[in-house]
Structure 1
Amino acid sequence: MNPQTTTHHSLAGLRTTLRRLAHRAGLPVELRYRLALSAVQVAARELDAGRPVILEAVPQEPAGGEPRLTVRLRLPYARRRPSLDGLPLPAEPMPGAAAVWRVPAPALPAQPARKEPPGLVELLEEELGEAVRRMDALAEDHRRLKHELAETNSGVLALYVQLEERDEQLRQAHGRILRQLEDALRPPPVRVPGLEMAVHYEPAEKHAPTGGDLYDWFLLPDGTVHITVVDALGHGLTSTRSALNVTHAVRTLALEGHPLQSIVARTDEVLATFDHELMATVQLARLDPSNGDLVLANGSHPPALLVREDGTTRLLEVRGRGIGFPLPGSERLLRDRLEPGDLLVLYTDGLTESRRDPREGEQRLASAARRHRHRPIEQIPGAIAEDMHTVILHPDDTVALTVRRVEAPPAASGD
């Protein structure tokens, strides 16, 4: 194809000329209509204003390179440079009002197969056919991608189901571990004629298995029941370890026969050698199931509550200082007696200080214990805690432990 320069006064003429020279140069159909659309977009303002444009087409065969078709569009009367942004086929700017496209032309220097150039209708039909083929290809790609996406979604859904199943298995395993841990930390009630016992525990952090509030109860060789309630400073497993150290030391000292009044001070002495940060309050109780005799020792712990069978209540206060406090130990022992139907409530401060006022909490505790004292023993601690925690401004670990004296069944007589 020889160099060609044409002047155009209409968009239709420019389109036709561009399509024919691109066809002769062997440009692919898509490249052909992109070139025509781009040139028309650049020339439209000038031609609409009645000013001509000049089209130059120059075939080039660089040495060692691929043949190219260079198309220049000059706007000799334009008052400003044309915008080349967003063209279907990007153009290179030129000095003055002009644009140039350099496109591969693999058919150069092929000659047309017939003398008559193809008509515009033929060229448009060819471009339309190419557009239809591209649309069909895009539609096929869309169907394929949709199918692949459906398969991917199916795989993701299956993976999600597997992860949910695995997560449920982990939750169940975690729950079993927590229950085993709770069983290890919280011994079951002592079963002894003449006493009913139950406990409610609630951690400050719902996701934590335990905290620094623990209890222990066991039968001593003389037949009395020993109860320990501990509130170690802090939350979580660190405070749990501290509380366990206290309960284990108290149990060892009690089983060795140390006097009840000395146990708080002796526990501090034992633990101070390896746990210098430990601070804990302690309530110790001894109950004789046969006659209801009660003995209390205390180390900075909230007072026990005694609820008589007729509904009268009394706080059993004993002065003392806890483990890790200055001058630890119980200053004295408090002695009382549980009659049949009487209820003893031992607890940690998370039960009574949920609204930051211990005295108000003690009054509310007395009311709740009085209200629930005749319920089955297994329900009483939880019912009391539910009443006390209707409004919680200061969440804390909570232990509520109840002991009720009942008439012991008569001993079976021998023959």
Structure 2
Amino acid sequence: MTGHPYHSMPPLRRAVRRLSRAYRLPADVRARLVLSVAGLAEDEVRAGRPVTLHTSQEAGAGAESYVLAVTLRCPQAPGPLPAPGILLPSAEPAPNSVTWRFTIPLPPGQPLSSSLPDDIRSRRAPWPDRTPWTETQAVEEELRASFAQTDALGAEHRRLKHELAETNAGVLALYVQLEERDEQLRRAHALILQELEDALRPPPLTVEGLELGVHYEPADPTAPTGGDLYDWFTLPDGTLHITVVDALGHGLGSTRSALNVTHTVRTLALEGHPLESILARTDEILMPLVPDLMATALLARLDPVTGKLRLANGGHPPALLLRTDGQARFLEAKGRGIGFPSPGSERVLHADINPDDLLILYTDGLTESRKDPIDGEKRLIEAARRHASRPLTEIPGSLAADMRSVVLHSDDTLALAIRITGSGAVML
């Protein structure tokens, strides 16, 4: 890890989490370190300037611990790094780097024999904690720690307000201070929730001959995780696979259900199961483990070379295909969702996608915000025609803005757009 250049944020966040867990930093300290590194590095990475992460071990004050130094370097930064991006106080800020120091206890029975860093390295493994973990688990640990701090601060807030109600002096000044503390806490809370949402997304995907765009909007902006989830990956034959899931409910419970579905579908797809059997098989696997799970799902397979599209549907809203001449149709394939009676897709729908055609996959939150799905489908066609000429990455968000201009029924909303660019595509 030390000295490795990072050109995008997700690998950098994962590296900081891996380092923090390896050295057993508390979850709240880990969360602040991840957010501090991300806050300082984001502008650099966005500007195309790589950053590096360095670690070193130093002798501590006593024989039972040592010091871990973590340094973020932005060698091409045009000026001093932004101080507001540091949520975790830094021991050594510099114009183009920041260093944090943490006291790490040595394992029991392993005293420090000398103060030389090399001796520290030679007497202990560089990654002492090898417990299996996933980034989602790590973010959930950080979220729980944040909630615990929130509850503690909330209790302290209530106690102070009760005492202030019994005194006349200094009430207004202290109340203002408490409100400022609440605002800081809300901002930190929102950042951690955003980290959780980003961790649940599949990594960006580049497929030659295809453009991909996605937009997600939670029903509750203060809890940006929900039951609408997607997954995309390429199969060994180069075909693009996309899974869109809408699990019943909201919040972390529905997120867990949607993750169960996407992970099971991915496993079955990579094992080579036929597309028409994957949804029914997913139900067979998950129902004994999660009997209360209910979710609709749409599976799409697109060959970027031939433009051949196959769809399997488990009770999910149909995909929309908009041709370059403006003709539009919904690709209907009947089926029932996971957790429903007789789950699975009744058949696989086949279609041909031509270069510059627009394919829209979505969840019902996009078309049912006015409680009328039929009217919603009509408006979706109109919005797709209106925005088809935009850059593809802007289309999902533009569709959501149009469709949710009036919200009578609030629900999580997910929209994906796919287009064959024509470069390298051969239509058969």
How high is the TM-score relative to the length of structure 1? 0.59
Cα gap change, 1:158 to 1:219, in 2 (>3 Å): farther
CA deviation profile, 1:190-240 (whole Å, cap 9, x unmatched): 111111111111111222122111111112121111101111111222111
Mapped partners of 2:317, 2:302: distance in 1: 19
- Residue type of the alignment partner of 2:262: T
8 Å Cα contact 1:220-1:255 kept in structure 2: yes
CA deviation profile, 1:169-208 (whole Å, cap 9, x unmatched): 3233222211211112122441111111111111112221
Q: Secondary structure at the match of 1:193?
A: coil
Partner residue in 2 for 1:177: 192
Q: Which ranges in structure 1 are unaligned for 5 or more consecutive residues? A: 1-151, 411-415
- Residue type of the alignment partner of 1:363: K
8 Å Cα contact 2:305-2:424 kept in structure 1: no
Cα displacement (A) at 1:168: 3.8
Q: How does 1:289-308 map to 2 (within 5 A)?
A: 289-308=304-323
8 Å Cα contact 1:189-1:198 kept in structure 2: no
Mapped partners of 1:188, 1:401: distance in 2: 14
CA deviation profile, 1:342-387 (whole Å, cap 9, x unmatched): 1100011111111222111111111111110110112111111111
Q: 2:339 aligns with which of 324, 339, 363?
A: 324
Q: Secondary structure at the match of 1:408?
A: coil
Structure 1 position 285 matched with structure 2 position 307: no
Cα RMSD between the aligned structures? Answer: 2.0
Partner residue in 1 for 2:8: none
Structure 1 position 363 matched with structure 2 position 369: no
Q: 1:336 aligns with which of 348, 351, 354?
A: 351
Q: 2:215 aligns with which of 200, 211, 230?
A: 200
Q: Secondary structure at the match of 1:297?
A: strand
Mapped partners of 1:155, 1:409: distance in 2: 72
Partner residue in 2 for 1:346: 361
Mapped partners of 1:173, 1:381: distance in 2: 28
Structure 1 position 218 matched with structure 2 position 233: yes
Mapped partners of 1:153, 1:219: distance in 2: 67
Give the length in aligned residue pairs: 260
Partner residue in 2 for 1:376: 391
Mapped partners of 2:169, 2:396: distance in 1: 50
Q: 2:275 aligns with which of 225, 235, 260?
A: 260
Partner residue in 1 for 2:202: 187
Partner residue in 1 for 2:329: 314
Structure 1 position 241 matched with structure 2 position 253: no
Mapped partners of 2:168, 2:394: distance in 1: 50
Q: Secondary structure at the match of 2:383?
A: helix
Q: How does 1:136-155 map to 2 (within 5 A)?
A: none
Structure 1 position 272 matched with structure 2 position 272: no
Q: 1:388 aligns with which of 381, 385, 403?
A: 403
Cα displacement (A) at 1:158: 5.4
Q: 2:412 aligns with which of 383, 391, 397?
A: 397
Cα displacement (A) at 1:165: 4.5
Cα displacement (A) at 1:167: 2.9
8 Å Cα contact 1:304-1:347 kept in structure 2: yes
Q: Which ranges in structure 2 are unaligned for 5 or more consecutive residues? A: 1-166
Mapped partners of 2:316, 2:171: distance in 1: 56
CA deviation profile, 1:230-258 (whole Å, cap 9, x unmatched): 11111222111111111111111111111
8 Å Cα contact 1:189-1:197 kept in structure 2: no
CA deviation profile, 1:15-58 (whole Å, cap 9, x unmatched): xxxxxxxxxxxxxxxxxxxxxxxxxxxxxxxxxxxxxxxxxxxx
How high is the TM-score relative to the length of structure 2? 0.58
- Residue type of the alignment partner of 2:361: L
Q: Secondary structure at the match of 2:406?
A: coil
Q: Secondary structure at the match of 2:392?
A: coil
Q: What percentage of residue pairs aligned between the two structures are identical? A: 70
Mapped partners of 1:367, 1:154: distance in 2: 62
Mapped partners of 1:349, 1:330: distance in 2: 18
